[in-house]
Amino acid sequence: MEIVFLFEQVVNGLVLGGYYLLIALGLSLIFSVGGIVNLSHGAFYALGAYFFVQMVDTLGFGAAVVISPIIVAFIGIAFERFVLRQFYREDPILSLLVTFGLALVMEQAIRMIWGAAPLPASLPQAIRGPIFVGDMIFSKYRLLMLVVIAVVLAGIWILLNKTSFGRVVRAGIQNPDMVAALGIRLQPYMTAVVMLGVGLAALGGAMFAPITTVHPAMGSEILTIAFVVVIIGGLGSFWGVVAAALLVGVVRGATVHFVPAASEASMYVLMFLVLLLRPRGLLGESIEKFES
């Protein structure tokens, strides 16, 4: 029995890791391409949840989950154009400060628009409840989320690896000057990457809104985990982030099985160990522009 329980926790951890992945992947993309650590990433996650709650009663669950991240992606255009673009070539501390400030401004804006009290949100009856596989219990909704995440992930992988768009972005990650010398303007690609990044965060927010508390500070709750995942995975690595997200989920699940009170600490211990043994992260690549 004991081993079944552990297995159940591990599988549940994988599902949770998939959700961390949505937030962490966007963070990693924006960092890889722009060299900017986006501390306001959590606020876009919160915006995704709030837009979802705002629309779900009128448009229905499915439409709200789809439209909310699209709106946030469009907000991402302004974010890239008027904020991030000023800082690509600047000292990273400046973009760190400005995105931190923006996170506070966005959280306060949410508080002013929607109020400080959390907003209610529920799952539709049809996708609520458990699914049993043998003696193991799974949440129907989380499995559905996992499918959505897998599809999104596959889409992003194809976009980055099998399209001309992806080739430019990957080249831009390695050496933006060379890309420019070849006569390719990176800016529209950067805008698209930021749209994608914050859109993914918003998708995470929209999908998690029915099963977590929708409140103004929800963004800062998730941001730390996203950072831990990116750092463990290694900068610039798509599969590194994927592996790290799943690993964090699994380690957390296994910790809950053995020492529940230490569940939150487990990912930090993991990060500590990874950085100690492999400072570049699990699959971190050597990126020229950060190594000079």
Partner 1 sequence: MKFQKNKYTSGVNGGMSRRSALKLSAGAAAATMIGAPALVRAQTGPIRIGNLTPMTGFLGTLGVFASKGAQLAAAEINAAGGVNGRMIEMMSEDSINPENGATKAQRMLERDGVDLILGEISSATALAISEVATRNEKLFMAVGPRSDVLRGGRCSPYMFCTDIPNTVMVNAVGTAMKNQGMVDGKKFFTLTADYVFGHDLLKAAKNFFDANNAELIGDELVATDVTDFSSFILKIRQAKPDVLALNLAGNQVTNFVKQYAEFGAPFPMIGFNLNTADAWAAGVGNLSGTWPTPWLDTVDTDATRGYVERFRAAYDGQTPENHSWISYNAVKIVAQAIAETGTAETPALIEYLESGAEFDLMKHRKGYFRADDHQLIQEAFSFSMKPDGSYDDVLNMLDLGPAVPGEGQPLEAIFPSGSECTL
Binding site for partner 1 (CB under 8 A): 5, 8-9, 12-13, 15-16, 115-123, 125, 128-130, 137, 139, 141-142, 210-215, 217, 221-222, 252-253, 256-257, 260-261, 263-265
- Of the two residues 90 and 264, which places its CB atom closer to partner 1 in the complex? 264
Distance CA 137, CA 275 (A): 35
Q: Provide the minimum distance between the beta carbon of 247 and partner 1 in the complex, in angstroms, as a whole number.
A: 15
- Of the two residues 5 and 239, which places its CB atom closer to partner 1 in the complex? 5
Distance CA 285, CA 241 (A): 12
Q: Provide the minimum distance between the beta carbon of 234 and partner 1 in the complex, in angstroms, as a whole number.
A: 24
- Of the two residues 159 and 211, which places its CB atom closer to partner 1 in the complex? 211
Distance CA 256, CA 160 (A): 36
Distance CA 100, CA 37 (A): 9
* DSSP code string of 30-69: HHHHH----TTHHHHHHHHHHHHHHHHHHH-HHHHHHHHH
Q: Provide the minimum distance between the beta carbon of 257 and partner 1 in the complex, in angstroms, as a whole number.
A: 7
- Of the two residues 121 and 270, which places its CB atom closer to partner 1 in the complex? 121
Q: Provide the minimum distance between the beta carbon of 259 and partner 1 in the complex, in angstroms, as a whole number.
A: 10
- Of the two residues 94 and 109, which places its CB atom closer to partner 1 in the complex? 109
Report residue 276 as tokens: 């100690």
Q: Provide the minimum distance between the beta carbon of 13 and partner 1 in the complex, in angstroms, as a whole number.
A: 7
Distance CA 7, CA 257 (A): 10
Report residue 71 as tokens: 């709106």
Q: Which residues contact 132 (CB under 8 A, 6 or more apart)?
A: 138
Q: Provide the minimum distance between the beta carbon of 16 and partner 1 in the complex, in angstroms, as a whole number.
A: 6
Q: Provide the minimum distance between the beta carbon of 26 and partner 1 in the complex, in angstroms, as a whole number.
A: 19
Q: Give me the residues paired with residue 130 across strands.
A: 139
Please give the single-letter amino acid code of residue 212. T
- Of the two residues 41 and 252, which places its CB atom closer to partner 1 in the complex? 252
The residue assigned the tokens 């994927």 is: 242
Q: What proportions of the chain, in percent to the nearest 5, are helix, strand and coil?
A: 80, 5, 20
Contact between residue 23 and residue 41 where contact means Cβ atoms under 8 Å apart: yes
- Of the two residues 117 and 275, which places its CB atom closer to partner 1 in the complex? 117
The residue assigned the tokens 């529920």 is: 122
